[in-house]
Chains A and B, each alone.
Chain A
């Protein structure tokens, strides 16, 4: 079974509107972390936001927030006030366990297109 599922291969959003990118995960570990990365068309991978399994508050980083619903095993990325530069592929990833050796499992990604 896939550990990280991103069900939206592509999403469109109007500039200045908010958009939610979905991510569900599967793990039996109590300690884990969830990450979102952005990959623009230039190809590099950029870390956006992190949520720990024990964090009670949803993570926020500027216009990015993570809607963490632990019981539903979902970690959706919310981008507020979309900008043209937000057009990119977005990956959800998980790191399991307390000693994780830097290993992460990635979803297949969602391509976001921001329309002017």
Chain B
């Protein structure tokens, strides 16, 4: 199993450009989420999804859109890139369980630089 696959690994954008970060998982997990990691900080939740067709905002959603048309895929769209969006982006998935015992499975991350 591949687990959670993110592409691309690295990306450089100019201010104002748009792009889509791809995320796919093959574990049939119900939950998927996007986090960003800035230097010296932990991960902050951007958007999440509890299933196909259902998405919601996390802690830092501004400037990003998501959609979830299938269980497997959860792309993150940057509408108009800004230097403040320079960060490492992680996609994660987890099983739907009653209770909290369901760790996040992470992709390998996308390092995005906006100039």
Contacts and interface: CB of A to CB of B under 8 A. Distances in A.
Contacts of A64: none
Query: Is the contact region of chain B dominated by helix, strand, or loop, or is it mixed?
Result: strand
B45 A109 contact: no
Nearest to B100: A33
Query: Which of the four size classes fits the interface of chain A?
Result: 20 to 34
Nearest to B58: A103
A98 B33 CA distance: 18
B106 A35 contact: no
B105 A95 contact: no
Contacts of A100: 100
Query: Is the contact region of chain A dominated by helix, strand, or loop, or is it mixed?
Result: loop
Given A45-B104, A47-B104, A102 B98 contact: no
Interface residues of B, number: 33
Contacts, number: 82
A31 B100 contact: yes
Given A106-B44, A107-B42, A101 B31 contact: yes
Contacts of B26: none
B108 A44 contact: yes
Contacts of B40: 9, 108
B27 to A, nearest CB: 12
B31 A102 contact: yes
B51 to A, nearest CB: 10
Given A43-B108, A44-B108, A103-B58, A95 B100 contact: yes
B70 interface: no
A35 B48 contact: no
A102 B55 CA distance: 12
Given A52-B99, A106-B43, 4 more contacts: A31-B100, A33-B100, A101-B56, A102-B93
Interface of A: 4, 9, 31-33, 35, 37, 43-45, 47, 50, 52-53, 91, 93, 95-109
Interface of B: 30-33, 35, 40-45, 48, 50, 56, 58, 88, 90, 92-94, 96, 98-106, 108-109, 111
